[in-house]
Amino acid sequence: MNEKYHLSDYAKRFDKNGNTALFNGLNLKKAYGKTEIINRAITSLDNSLIKNNFLVKPGQDEARIRELRSQIGSINISNIVMIVDNRCNYACSYCQIEENMDSKQKSYAMSKETAKKALDLFEKNTKNENEKTINITGGEPLMNIRTVKYIIKRSNKMPNSRRVIFTNGSLVTSKLADYFSKTDTLMLVSLDGPKEIHDSVRIKKSGQGTYDISLRGYKLLKDAGCKVGISSVTGIHNVNKMREVSDLFASLEPPSIGLNFGHYLLDKENPTAIKMGKFAKILTNFYETMRNKNIFVENISRFITPFYEENPRLNECQAQGRGFSVDSRGKIGTCKSLLVSDIISKPLEEINQDLSKEPMLQEWAKRSPFTLEECVDCNVIGICGGGCTYDSFAINKGDINKIDSRLCEYTNEVLKFLIWDLFEDIKHKIKDIVYIPNLKEQEEKFLKYYDPSNQLQRSVGHEKDK
């Protein structure tokens, strides 16, 4: 090979049934072709591989890494998580909020005065023209409906904002459902599958199952005309019954579903956790089922958006420079799971009112696969986001500059699926050439299933709002 060019260290190769795909981890470009065509193109220095940086000159990859690093670390607030009540009428077995919370905090409900201060800070640090998300959660947020209604009324006056309530559904009434519908409040109800599955992990503090009351709340919201989605956790309680889970969720016809994995707990093992490689396969199968019904699957969208936009994913979530959490006591933190334990928190009165200068937020904003020593040589660096910072903190004894190694298998499995999923739509165009799919055909492939006007078909907490 000509010494001026070599195959990029960030070019990942996929082979299947005589076909080969190359993926560039730094610019998220893809090159497809018959295996012999791709092999010949590499050795002959094919111009399309040079143009798309699969073949690079010495120092070219390093320059791209420096360019991407220069985009990391800024504070651009677009998201606030408001824990309006630390109490919950459920006792879900895997809840990291409940498990991480100091016992002294469990009776707090956010006052309207605290909510006002938090929203004042949020509004002061956002721009009118930018999309914003007010995430109302708990505990069970509807236990503090007075403050919830205040937040909705106040945030309705914010330009380009959406309000999303995460609820277990148990306290929803017909009257409340009508109110949420009229105020255009987005709702996400927690369900883990059919009754037997759901009731094995989502129980009342008295030990009774909660499926019937959660489903009742979901249906009341839907009947009232609310945009209401489902938030679900995949674990040992439902991993072998995903067909039943899929059938139920499809029958409920939500616009979106969050199919989540169990996070680490700080002081003990998560009793429902499964291996992330297995979760990745479940997630991709679930996505294939739901997309044909025009149901948005939030978790995989975090990979799909950078994949088809060919825009590297610099970090994982809003806690990394794009948002903050405030709890019912009026304390602020980056991540709600660490805020409730007071591991990373400050009183509202002590936070820098210019959040771009707040050290707590600055530290998390700097965390990216492009700044992590364990990630910088990885050939899928541009699509993983570095994983959940909270999980990295939990597994690495407080060090957010190390990774949760579960992420690596998870990312590679999802990427492999996306590579061959795109291939199915373009394989008739490949023939005897190196085929580089353009942005338009990738967008048509991945966006044809969704309704961009539906605000629930946009990630919550992991969106790329600026």
| Residue 2 DSSP code | -
Q: What is the CATH number of the domain that holds 163?
A: 3.20.20.70
Torsion of CA 171, 173, 79, 96, to 10 degrees: 20
Same-domain check for residues 13 and 112:
no
Residue 60 in any domain: the answer is: yes
Same-domain check for residues 43 and 98:
no
Give the model's pLDDT for residue 3. Answer: 65
Residue 194 in any domain: the answer is: yes
Same-domain check for residues 144 and 41:
no
Same-domain check for residues 62 and 90:
no
Give the strand pairing for 11-16 and 19-24: antiparallel
Same-domain check for residues 157 and 65:
no
Q: Which amino acid is located at 233 in the chain?
A: V
Same-domain check for residues 166 and 219:
yes
Give the model's pLDDT for residue 466. Answer: 36
Residue 159 in any domain: the answer is: yes
Between helices 276-291 and 406-430, what is the axis angle to 10°?
A: 40
Per-residue three-class SS string for 11-65: EEEEEECCEEEEEECCCCCEEEEEHHHHHHHHHCCCHHHHHCCCEECCCHHHHHH
Residue range 357-388, pLDDT digits in tens: 999 999 999 999 999 999 999 999 999 999 99
Residue 360 in any domain: the answer is: no
**Cβ density class 273-298: b for 16+ within 10 Å, e for less:** bbebeebbebbbebbebbbeeebbbb
The DSSP annotation for 148-164 comes to: HHHHHHHHTTSTTEEEE
Distance CA 11, CA 51 (A): 14
Same-domain check for residues 30 and 95:
no
Same-domain check for residues 99 and 203:
yes
Same-domain check for residues 90 and 210:
yes
184 HSE (CA, 13 A, CB side): 8
- SS3 at position 251: helix
Q: Which of 309, 340, 362 is the last residue of a domain?
A: 309
- For 167, counting Cβ atoms within 10 Å of its Cβ (0-12 exposed, 13-18 middle, 19+ buried), the class is buried
Domain that holds residue 25: 6-71+408-447
Residue 464 in any domain: the answer is: no
Distance CA 258, CA 264 (A): 18
Distance CA 385, CA 304 (A): 12
Give the CA distances from residue 461 to residues 135, 324, 348, in Å, rounded to whole numbers and listed in that order. Answer: 8, 10, 21
What's the mean per-residue pLDDT of the chain?
94
Give the model's pLDDT for residue 105. Answer: 63
Distance CA 96, CA 264 (A): 7
115 and 82 Cβ atoms separated by less than 8 Å:
yes
Tokens of 258: 């969050």
- For 62, counting Cβ atoms within 10 Å of its Cβ (0-12 exposed, 13-18 middle, 19+ buried), the class is exposed
Long-range contacts for 424-432 (Cβ within 8 Å, ≥24 apart)?
426/32, 427/19, 427/32, 430/19, 430/32, 430/33, 430/34, 432/34, 432/37
Distance CA 232, CA 198 (A): 10
Same-domain check for residues 98 and 53:
no
Residue 47 in any domain: the answer is: yes
Q: Which of 277, 293, 309 is the last residue of a domain?
A: 309
Low-confidence stretches of the chain (pLDDT < 70) are 1-3, 103-107, 464-466
Same-domain check for residues 128 and 200:
yes
Residue 397 in any domain: the answer is: no
228 and 216 Cβ atoms separated by less than 8 Å:
no
Give the model's pLDDT for residue 412. Answer: 97
Give the CA distances from residue 349 to residues 42, 330, 344, 345, in Å, rounded to whole numbers and listed in that order. Answer: 59, 9, 15, 12
Give the model's pLDDT for residue 20. Answer: 98
Task: Please count the structural domains in the chain.
Answer: 2
**To 5 degrees, how large is the angle CA 279–CA 441–CA 377?**
50
User: Phi/psi of residue 22, each to 5°?
Assistant: -110, 140
3-state DSSP percent of the chain in helix, strand and coil, to 5: 40, 15, 45
**To 5 degrees, how large is the angle CA 169–CA 159–CA 353?**
90
Distance CA 398, CA 343 (A): 9
Same-domain check for residues 179 and 86:
yes
Tokens of 173: 């009434």
Residue 23 in any domain: the answer is: yes
